[in-house]
């Protein structure tokens, strides 16, 4: 309804019926009787009889304007619009000031886009009756069509003073206010419209759209639900609810709305993509795969579906299938970066690719990305003072309940505000309690999800950011198109992707001396490795769960090994090593937490059985709520890290809950996360020098119950007392790193 003229404004016909010319005309009394009879017939729905009465009134009183006016209204109602206009013209020929003849003819001319002829008629009607709200509504639409938005809004405001509950005027006014960029006033107008007609679909839906954009999801949700009660098959309302629930992380409701919308339009590709994304986040991976394959079946050139399908396959540990999917999708896109970036992430999990080959692929992708997105900013409006306050920008799609947000939190909480100013650029589609906490900690927050990479780069450059930090690399929502344009003089990457980005315009990757020992991995980075003084990790648990200080073997009589890493990290090589460990500790058990679906579970069972471990010794646990996840550590004596992709957060979680970790680092940075954490805690006896040593150390620890029991009781206090949980120390280390970057840039003229 918004933005459309009301179908028919007939004015106050009772007034029209007694409107008379200045001088009495013969036959008026009889004409009035016929007009009254015609009015009754029209109200009864008998337009034919009504028009006949009006014609007879005109015949006996041809100089009576009211007779012509009523005939015009009747003819219009019966569909004879051209004849109606002639009657209105006849009425005006007799009485040029007749309010309703001016209004009705002006309205008809407006509907024919004869704006120049219609405007004076409508203004004359209003001059004769300034309280004539209908005339002001039509004049408003006429002025809007002429481009006079302010004049149009003024007319509606006058109409609403006369009739505050005029629903159509309220809706039209809201439309105009949006065009005038008066969003708050538009919301007020629509609130009034909803109060007048609470069940009106359009008013509820329009207001919900505005409130979603204003980040008022609770009220928007209520309005959309009301809109759908009025119109259950409204596809747009269902899809807006999908996006609303998705942005809140309410995945169950988002899935339900997506299913309802897909019943209405089963072949909507973008909605199928969103549904596949929701199912992936719900860890309903088999269903997600089916939905995304359905989208590709509808349109094989729909590239987004290939990227999401590949991500689903990666989550299941089906790396080769994911790589094949990414490769197929690249056939149909002009800019293959998103698929190439996803492929690089998947390759980190493969056993059989060399670090040299993987580095070469990163360099190749980075080079082509920088060619497609040249550095656009020739200069930076920044003062090269090595000691001034720095403006640090963080870019991420994971400012929510996510490990990236968890590691960033202490940097923001404990920063020296006189030395560092923080800008956050959130490129994701979800906001939750962590988002709000981060938003409150930042000096400036930009929700840039709807913006293009170029628009975000322009915003960063306008903000005069000194050091821009990427928190994703080639994982999750990659923001490297922004960084390729180099909107800030100094760019770095940290924590989200423990490998090179391949970009030469990102000058630094922040790490530590354990993840990247000097001289070991430098040659596999396009960035300079900048190592923090203590650790690149600063841990805090997602939730507070008490540690069980009694080791499980003391209750069970046998040692239980455990893994809490993502399924994709449990490679064929590590499954074989686990088989060897359990074979050498014959009474032991294995718990694997976070198995994504039945297919992944069956694959794990098969591979471990092939390695000599019977199924009754293995417990598979699906994805579970975070509180249950922490409690499962209470059933595990020794945590087995994965390789070549080591666990970072899961290693911290295991140690926090009292379960020691055995890891086997390699050359690759991402294979050394657990080793970095263990070194920081002085637990080097958990770090193996080879795969054979990995097995030996796990077996040796399993045979030392006193050591397991001691670690169970002391690991939490060891963590609390370490630099790994010293937020202030970590924040100072990060700020010192930023200062070193800045001073280096200031010392290089022309940079």
pLDDT, tens digit (0-9, with 9 covering 90-100), for 441-452? 999 999 999 999
**Residue among 255, 261, 265 at smallest CA distance from 298:** 265
Task: Tell whether the model's pLDDT for residue 18 goes beyond 80.
Answer: no
Verify that 30 and 76 share a domain, yes or no: yes
Q: Provide the pLDDT for residue 749.
A: 67
Verify that 77 and 119 share a domain, yes or no: yes
Q: Please tell me whether residue 133 adopts helix, strand or coil conformation.
A: helix
Verify that 115 and 175 share a domain, yes or no: yes
Verify that 179 and 314 share a domain, yes or no: no
Confidence of residue 24 (pLDDT cuts 50, 70, 90): very low
Task: Tell whether the model's pLDDT for residue 555 goes beyond 70.
Answer: yes
Condensed to tens digits (0 to 9), the pLDDT of residues 426-436 reads 999 888 999 99
482-505: average pLDDT = 97
Residue 742 lies inside a defined structural domain of this protein = no
The domain that holds 467 is classified in CATH as 3.40.50.11380
Q: Provide the pLDDT for residue 20.
A: 38
Residue 256 lies inside a defined structural domain of this protein = no
Verify that 562 and 526 share a domain, yes or no: no
Q: List b or e across 163-192, with b for residues whose CB sees 16 or more CB atoms inside 10 angstroms.
A: beebbbbbbbbbbbbbeeeeeebbbebbbb
Residue 218 lies inside a defined structural domain of this protein = no
Verify that 416 and 356 share a domain, yes or no: no
Residue 380 lies inside a defined structural domain of this protein = no
Q: Provide the pLDDT for residue 748.
A: 87
Verify that 509 and 435 share a domain, yes or no: yes
Verify that 424 and 354 share a domain, yes or no: no
Verify that 53 and 132 share a domain, yes or no: yes
Residue 543 lies inside a defined structural domain of this protein = no
Condensed to tens digits (0 to 9), the pLDDT of residues 184-202 reads 999 999 999 999 999 999 9
What is this structure's pTM? Answer: 0.87
Residue 719 lies inside a defined structural domain of this protein = yes
- What 3 state SS string does 183-218 have? HHHHHHHHHHHHHHCCCCHHHHHHHHHHHHHCCCHH
How is residue 152 annotated by DSSP?
H
Verify that 310 and 455 share a domain, yes or no: no
Could you list the residue range(s) of the whole structural domain that residue 187 is in? 13-196
Of 308, 342, 372, which residue constitutes the final position of a domain? 372
Residue 705 lies inside a defined structural domain of this protein = yes
Verify that 110 and 20 share a domain, yes or no: yes
- The tokens describing 271, both together, are 């909605």
Confidence of residue 750 (pLDDT cuts 50, 70, 90): low
Residue 175 lies inside a defined structural domain of this protein = yes
* Cis before 36? omega within 30: no
Condensed to tens digits (0 to 9), the pLDDT of residues 47-78 reads 999 999 999 999 999 999 999 999 999 999 99
3-state helix, strand, coil in the chain (%, to 5): 60, 10, 35
**Residue among 564, 583, 561 at smallest CA distance from 637:** 561
Count of domains for the chain: 4
The domain that holds 129 is classified in CATH as 1.25.40.10
The domain that holds 680 is classified in CATH as 3.40.50.2000
**Residue among 54, 81, 85 at smallest CA distance from 70:** 54
Between CA 242 and CA 274 the distance in angstroms is: 8
Condensed to tens digits (0 to 9), the pLDDT of residues 33-46 reads 999 999 999 999 99
């Amino acid at each position: 309804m918004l933005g459309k003229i009301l179908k028919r404004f007939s004015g106050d016909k009772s007034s029209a019926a007694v409107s008379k010319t200045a001088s009495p005309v013969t036959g008026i009394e009889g004409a009035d009787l016929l007009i009254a009879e015609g009015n009754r017939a029209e109200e009864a729905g008998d337009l034919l009889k009504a028009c006949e009465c009006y014609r007879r009134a005109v015949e006996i009183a041809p100089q009576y304007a009211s007779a012509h006016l009523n005939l015009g209204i009747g003819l219009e109602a019966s569909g004879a619009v051209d004849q109606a206009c002639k009657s209105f013209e006849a009425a005006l020929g007799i009485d040029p000031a007749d309010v309703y003849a001016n209004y009705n003819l002006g309205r008809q001319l407006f509907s024919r886009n004869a704006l120049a002829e219609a405007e004076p008629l409508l203004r004359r009607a209003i001059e004769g009756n300034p309280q004539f709200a209908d005339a002001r509504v039509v004049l408003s639409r006429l002025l809007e069509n002429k481009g006079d938005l302010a004049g149009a809004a003024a007319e509606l405001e006058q109409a609403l003073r006369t009739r505050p509950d005029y629903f159509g005027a309220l809706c039209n006014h809201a439309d105009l206010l949006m065009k005038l960029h008066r969003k708050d006033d538009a919301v007020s107008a629509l609130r009034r419209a909803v109060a007048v007609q609470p069940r009106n679909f359009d008013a509820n839906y329009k207001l919900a759209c505005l409130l979603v954009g204003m980040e008022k999801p609770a009220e928007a949700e209520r309005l959309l639900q009301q809109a759908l009660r009025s119109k259950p098959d409204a596809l747009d309302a269902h899809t807006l609810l999908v996006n609303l629930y998705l942005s809140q992380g309410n995945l169950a409701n988002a899935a339900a709305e997506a299913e309802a919308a897909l019943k209405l339009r089963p072949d909507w590709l973008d909605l199928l993509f969103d549904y596949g994304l929701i199912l992936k986040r719900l860890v309903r991976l088999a269903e997600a795969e089916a939905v995304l394959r359905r989208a590709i079946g509808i349109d094989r050139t729909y590239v987004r579906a290939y990227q999401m399908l590949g991500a689903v396959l990666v989550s299941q540990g089906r790396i080769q299938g994911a790589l094949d999917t990414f490769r197929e999708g690249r056939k149909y896109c002009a800019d293959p970066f998103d698929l190439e970036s996803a492929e690089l992430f998947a390759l980190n999990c493969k056993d059989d690719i060399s670090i040299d080959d993987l580095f070469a692929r990163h360099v190749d992708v980075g080079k082509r990305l920088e060619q497609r997105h040249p550095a656009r900013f020739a200069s930076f409006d920044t003062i090269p003072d090595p000691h001034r306050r720095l403006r640090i920008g963080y870019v991420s799609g994971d400012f929510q309940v996510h490990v990236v947000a968890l590691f960033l939190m202490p940097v923001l909480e404990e920063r020296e505000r006189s030395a560092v100013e923080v800008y956050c650029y959130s490129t994701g589609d979800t906001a939750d309690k962590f988002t709000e906490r981060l938003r409150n900690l930042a000096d400036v927050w930009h929700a840039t999800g709807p913006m293009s990479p170029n628009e975000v780069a322009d915003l960063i450059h306008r903000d005069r950011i000194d050091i821009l930090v990427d928190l994703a690399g080639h994982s999750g929502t990659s923001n490297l198109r922004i960084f390729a344009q180099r909107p800030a003089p100094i760019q770095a990457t940290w924590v989200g992707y423990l490998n090179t980005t391949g970009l030469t315009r990102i000058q630094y990757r922040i790490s530590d001396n354990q993840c990247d020992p000097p001289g070991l991995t430098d040659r596999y980075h396009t960035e300079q490795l900048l190592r923090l003084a203590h650790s690149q990790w600063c841990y805090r648990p997602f939730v507070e769960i008490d540690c069980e200080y009694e080791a499980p073997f003391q209750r069970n009589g046998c040692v239980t090994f455990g893994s809490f890493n993502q399924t994709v990290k449990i490679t064929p090589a590590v499954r074989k090593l686990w088989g060897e460990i359990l074979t050498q500790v014959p009474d032991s058990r294995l718990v694997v937490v976070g198995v994504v679906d039945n297919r992944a579970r069956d694959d794990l069972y098969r591979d471990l059985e092939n390695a000599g471990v019977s199924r009754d010794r293995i417990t598979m646990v699906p994805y579970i709520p975070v509180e249950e996840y922490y409690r499962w550590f209470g059933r595990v004596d020794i945590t087995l890290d994965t390789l070549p992709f080591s666990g970072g957060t899961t290693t911290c979680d295991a140690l926090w809950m009292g379960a020691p970790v055995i890891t086997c680092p390699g050359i690759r940075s991402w294979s050394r996360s657990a080793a970095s954490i263990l070194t920081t805690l002085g637990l080097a006896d958990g770090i193996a020098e080879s795969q054979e040593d990995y097995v030996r150390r796990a077996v040796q620890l399993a045979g030392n119950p006193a050591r397991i029991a001691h670690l169970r009781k002391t690991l939490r206090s060891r963590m609390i007392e370490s630099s790994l949980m010293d937020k202030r120390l970590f924040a100072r280390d990060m700020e010192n790193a930023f200062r070193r970057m800045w001073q280096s840039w200031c010392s290089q003229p022309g940079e």
